[in-house]
Structure 1
């Protein structure tokens, strides 16, 4: 993806055939300082978009919203565009997973920006992030949510073996000593719980 850098903000350019992008358009990684429009207090953000993005940095491909809606939120100061891959000198860095190992980066001819694009192979399973891929973040008002009265409060009972292991674990923590607990768990759904 490429962007027009204008005073006050960025405008994304839809994917075009290679060599068809207007002159002066840039990949997100080529923009020194990414402009962040001020928050418009009169703007009513989409609560679903707000809920999905709050506290996260996601790819456009991860969002079930059209680019126009995302751009509208950006122009009203509720969304940020951030570099997915930064390159300083010859060193690339992935903003999503923190990878800086040169062996875990690759390059390809990118249909989205029309250039050779470096991408991160370390976090590829979460979706390809490359030099022209913006990470989208939330910078608007925080979403409203209800805090439940009981948060992760377990109401079960421990077996004798679990209670013994729990007591020993508490002792080890209080005495600042090491303890090895051998436990068999069925598919990760049974837990040894500390009984404090």
Structure 2
């Protein structure tokens, strides 16, 4: 069964986002984790991201789409986002995982709101971040408690992440009109101003910041 271009775009960008998250978290675990326990914990979260990638890849195949072709339009934008926001240390890596990835994925969760229930269920499943959130929040709070001066720097880092993430989302939507249409539909009838969507995403971001004590 062939699915609409917007749905293929949505699953394609999410598939590449999950694959990228797996690769990045694996690298961060190996190079930035301060202990073997931290390395193991982040590696387990990375494995979950790869499992999510496989779910999306398999669904794209079921829908008659080529997974590689569906992901290809988003490689440049997502790779640029990761290149521009490379963390310098462990706490920055965790803030990026929780705050930066969180707001970027919220952007695509909104696009799925009015799709077929099976697609909505899949998107919700691959974007669940309970374990990742818990780990990041606990680690960042502990890091700030041990070094209170780190809070200000991490807050600035988080602000940069959200700006880059929203810019990336706008860039992707501008070059993929079918995906942009899904976002507009998510705003509801008469709510075509995408700034409303960004206001909603920023509210979720502020809640994440508060959870980390930033």
Using structure 1 for the length normalisation, give the TM-score.
0.21
Query: Which protein has greater RCO, CA pairs closer than 8 Å, 6+ apart?
Result: 2
Using structure 2 for the length normalisation, give the TM-score.
0.20
Bigger-Rg structure (1/2):
1
Higher helix content, 1 or 2: 2
